[in-house]
A and B are shown apart, each in its own frame.
Chain A
């Protein structure tokens, strides 16, 4: 199997990867570690996909 690097696949994987990093930060940070699991996941996803989509738009990929 191969997977073509198109905007859908790059957005999907880029978003998940960055969200995992953001979630890791939120878990260890003193101010946010008390948040619920779902809140951490949703905030991480929102931040990551905003970042990925805006970067793709800036680079003209979208």
Chain B
């Protein structure tokens, strides 16, 4: 059991805030196209996402997590575990603030990159350039290109083939869309489940690290345990986030990039899920958020470039480029401040 110190309470509060952000920004990955295509209402999307996100987090969330997300900073280089605890706290607060801003603007950003950027900022502030794994940072930068391009290509090809072999041969378009609304929903449920199981760590990983290393007698380790109650805590935060603020980014993904119908939404979601699934075997630097946006652009491109809202796409890309540096700067600043006042 954790000691109920003021710091532990603050960590849990910030962890809940981060989980809320993860839910609010990332629910669009799963449900944005389904809502945009009118296959389901926002209320139905929230209910479905809530069930699958929470189930994924609790049933398949990892019980051991990296001390530092994706190992971007070597914790052993920072000898004092209490410093790591403060750094983890700074990171989740900074990442949360950035994601809140992005969600307010309706921009889908990678919550993983936000946490990685924030951890980098803490690492730089605590121990300088050498503590950061720059090779991993290079992979993250590469994912800005790889993820949307791969997602876009797969979605473009699959929708083009579908249009050639099915849509053109079947005159009743409305009926086709009705049937594919079912498959779109099933794919969306999968993405919600997978997101819950994997991305709860974005909120809970730093919380677990902060709680673990703030204990008396704690020693630095690269992995920390994640108890079941913490997974449920993170899952609940994600559900509250998607229910209260998820509509903003869902509107961007589902309506503002390109017009989405159930057949297009299915191709985009299926392409995203396939790419992310295949990546677990290949090991490319892939972000689900970036892959989904690329997939939505891909199905739009299959109808021609005029089908795309280029302005919103540029805004989204700008937010991706800004994620890591802004999270890093804010996190470094918060960490420095906490080190002065502690």
Contact = CB atoms under 8 A, between A and B. Distances in A.
Contact of B277 (A9, A28, A41): A9
Contacts of B182: 37, 41
Given A1-B195, A23-B179, A27-B170, A12 B190 contact: yes
A10 B288 contact: no
B186 A16 contact: yes
Interface stretch (B210-218, B279-287, B302-310, B323-331): B279-287
B101 interface: no
B270 A9 contact: no
Interface string A13-43: 1001101100110011000010001001100
B276 A1 contact: yes
Contact of A37 (B162, B166, B178): B178
Given A27-B170, A28-B169, A28-B170, A37 B190 contact: no
Contact of B288 (A1, A5, A23, A41): A1
Nearest to A42: B182
A6 to B, nearest CB: 9
Contacts of B288: 1
A40 B182 CA distance: 11
A43 to B, nearest CB: 11
A20 B180 contact: yes
Contacts of B286: 2
- Categorize the interface residue count of chain B: 35 or more
A59 interface: no
B16 to A, nearest CB: 20
Interface in B152-200: 162, 165-166, 169-170, 175-176, 178-180, 182-183, 186-187, 190, 194-195, 197-199
A59 to B, nearest CB: 15
A19 B270 CA distance: 12
Contacts of B186: 16
Given A2-B276, A28-B166, A19 B183 contact: yes
A61 interface: no
Interface in B20-42: 26, 29
Contacts of A23: 179-180, 183
Given A13-B277, A20-B266, A20-B270, A2 B198 contact: yes
Interface of B: 26, 29, 112, 162, 165-166, 169-170, 175-176, 178-180, 182-183, 186-187, 190, 194-195, 197-199, 266, 270, 273-274, 276-281, 286-289
What 7 pairs between A and B have smallest CB-CB spacing? A1-B288, A3-B194, A1-B198, A24-B166, A41-B182, A5-B280, A20-B183
